[in-house]
Amino acid sequence: MIDQIPTILGLTVAVFLVMAIGGSARHLGWLTRKADEGMLKLCIRVLVPCLIFRSVVGNPAFDDATNIYMPPLFGFVSVALGTLIAAWIARVTGRFTGMLSAKTYCSFGVCVGIFNYGFVPLPLVENLFGPEALGVLFLHNVGVELAIWTICVGLVAGGLSKDWWKHVANPPSITIVVSLTVNFLGLAPYIPEMIDQVMRTLSAAAIPMMMLLIGANFFDQITGAGADATDGKNENLWGTAGLAVLLRCGVFPVLYLLAAAMLPISRELKQVAAIEAAMPAAVFPIVLTRLYGGEPRIALRVTIATTIVGLVTIPLWISSAIGVLGLQDTLLDAVVLPDDFPPESKPPKATGPDSSSEATPTTTTPANEAAALDPELVELDAQTIAGLKINTNNLIESNSLTGKIRQLYKRYFAEKIGDQLPNPSPRYAVYHNYQQGSDGGYALLVGGAVEAAPSDQLETAQIAPGKYLKFQAAGKQPEAVIQAWRQIAAYFSDSPHRRAYRTDFERYDDQVPETVEIYVSIE
């Protein structure tokens, strides 16, 4: 865990430096308050929805149904319980902290309970864990916002506002629903490349623009603190700030991580929890308490104190969380892949089981020449393979942003699936459930041969009995396998044999790493 702290510290400092630039721009008059409203609308209505759409659509994390309902539930409960616990503790300790009225300890509870769930965690999740966890983070935040506009507003204002639901049904939330619908209907492959490019460009601007705005508004809150009203009953600055730091930067991260470790949640949600647990109090409660009759000065104290301390505690908590939740091997720079790991996605029909003779020509290399094209006709019995599975097609795999195969292999090695199998070697990559021959979707399962699935978390695929042509791809991997599939496509374009599209598979033997066997079912 110690080795990870410099990397996490660097990412954390970078986030706060971007916020500091926003604050400096405000101070110098480059980013004026008049520009805030337009920039905020642009972010919330255009840039952030583009980022969400590209993070959710085609995200293999949502092949797991629990990643659709558990993240918002987890986010809602964490904020609701945190707010109620903090308000109760503030009430019990009121004579030491000066929070003696319902207005003060309810405001304190809301400010401590709402952690910085949005734009500070985004770059951390993306840079540490990648796009799959980023998509889950957005769903988690739907639950957080629901808790804010129900539990938190109700606590500060003494009841729900009439239009609370409008705050939850915002453009980002609507985009999440649309994105999940696109996934459910299988429409991701049909999104035009031009539209994807536009969204890619716009989404790249979302995080930096929001960080600049947050920094500018944080600067406003600090310099304009004297303008916030107070009832004069809370003058214990250090007592309020100290209790906030103790809870938000000390107690609550422990509770958050205990819940993440004990509950049956997905790997991606654990990754989100590792980041969110470390977050200081959010800036938004300052505005919330002002709008709904709370104590803005308490909110300001909580936010400033936990943010300053957070510069030190955020890297420590994230590093600890990665160890506690067993996420060391899921960090983007921590997964060491074997030599035969599949490469980045290639153009359609250039590689894989659906390759055709239209494949892009390549320059001949020793690895290409090593792919033997003298197939052996074999008869195979049925065999069960257990492991991890995805559903995909060539169009999805043609785009590195939507391609699932590389992520599948990354999960396989990061989660040490081979250790759960009685026969991890040889490893099989089974292509099956073909929809329309070479033009439709297919399923890919990576795993090992079993009698039955060793756990509920693993899926199975059947290698169909029948006739197969056995090819060999010998040489440097994965280049030899790539070239072999291209040559296999050319072979079937002028061959008496016809592909059956039942099951095809690659067989990787750790004892002979330079040679991969490819079996193609024939009629």
Q: Assess whether pLDDT exceeds 60 at residue 233.
A: no
Over 60: is that where the pLDDT of 366 sits?
Answer: no
83/72 Cα distance (integer angstroms): 17
Residue range 129-149, pLDDT digits in tens? 877 888 899 899 889 988 888
Residue with tokens 């409960």: 77
pLDDT greater at residue 336 or residue 213: 213
Is 300 in contact with 243 (CB distance < 8 Å)?
A: no
- Whole-number pLDDT of residue 398: 66
Q: 265's torsion region: left (phi>0), alpha (psi -120 to 50) or beta?
A: beta
Element (H, E) at 54: helix 48-56
pLDDT value at 269 more than 90: yes
Backbone CA torsion sign across 494, 497, 498, 504: negative
The pair of three-digit structure tokens given for residue 298, joined into one six-digit string: 């308490």
- Distance between CA 411 and CA 420 in Å, rounded? 13
Tell me the one-letter amino acid at 477. Q
pLDDT digits (tens, 9 = 90+) for 500-512: 889 999 999 888 8
CA distance 308 to 67: 33
Q: Could you tell me what percent of the chain has a pLDDT over 70?
A: 84
Give buried/exposed letters for 479-492 (b at 16+ CB in 10 A, else e): bbbbbbbbbbbebb
Residue written as tokens 């690659």?
506
- At residue 347, does pLDDT exceed 60? no
Angle between helices 33-42 and 193-223 (to 10 degrees): 150
pLDDT of residue 333: 54
Whole-model pTM over 0.75: no
pLDDT (0 to 100) of residue 232: 44
Domains observed in the chain? 2-329 (1.20.1530.20), 366-522 (3.20.80.10)
- State the amino acid at position 197 in one-letter form: Q
Laid out side by side, the sheet with 515-522 consists of 371-380, 466-474, 515-522, 499-508, 427-432, 442-450, 383-392, 459-463
Give the side-chain half-sphere CA count within 13 A for 335: 20
pLDDT the model gives residue 374: 80
Tokens of 50: 């583009």
Cα distance between residue 385 and residue 143, in whole Å: 38
Per-residue model confidence as pLDDT tens digits over 397-425: 765 555 678 778 877 887 788 888 888 77
Whether 58 contacts 401, CB under 8 Å: yes
pLDDT value at position 206?
Answer: 84
| Strand (E) or helix (H) holding 386 | strand 383-392
Better-scored residue on pLDDT, 168 or 259? 259
Place of tokens 């980013």: 31
Can you say whether residue 232 is alpha, beta or left, with left for phi > 0 and alpha for psi between -120 and 50 degrees? left
pLDDT value for 407: 75
pLDDT above 90 for 112: yes
Tell which residue, 252, 409, 243, has the closest CA to residue 321.
252
Closest residue by Cα to residue 482 from 492, 493, 471: 471
- What is the predicted pLDDT for the residue at 301? 87
Higher pLDDT, 319 or 362: 319
Does position 108 have pLDDT exceeding 80, yes or no? yes
* Length of the chain measured in residues: 523
Q: How many CB atoms lie under 10 A from the CB of residue 262?
A: 8
Measured distance CA(392)–CA(189) in Å, rounded: 9
Query: In the structure, what pLDDT confidence band is assigned to residue 285 with cuts at 50, 70 and 90?
Result: confident
Residue type, 449: A
pLDDT of residue 309: 93
Residue closest to 228 by CA, chosen among 96, 117, 107, 83: 107
The more confidently predicted of residues 399 and 442 is 442
Among the residue ranges 24-38, 192-206, 326-340, 378-392, the one predicted with the least confidence is 326-340
Distance CA 289, CA 297 (A): 9
Confidence bin at 348 (pLDDT 50/70/90)? very low
Q: Report the Cα–Cα distance between both ends of the chain, in Å, rounded.
A: 54
The number of helices, as runs of H, and strands, as runs of E, in the chain is 21, 8
* pLDDT at residue number 371: 40
Please check the confidence at residue 228 and state whether its pLDDT lies above 80.
Answer: no
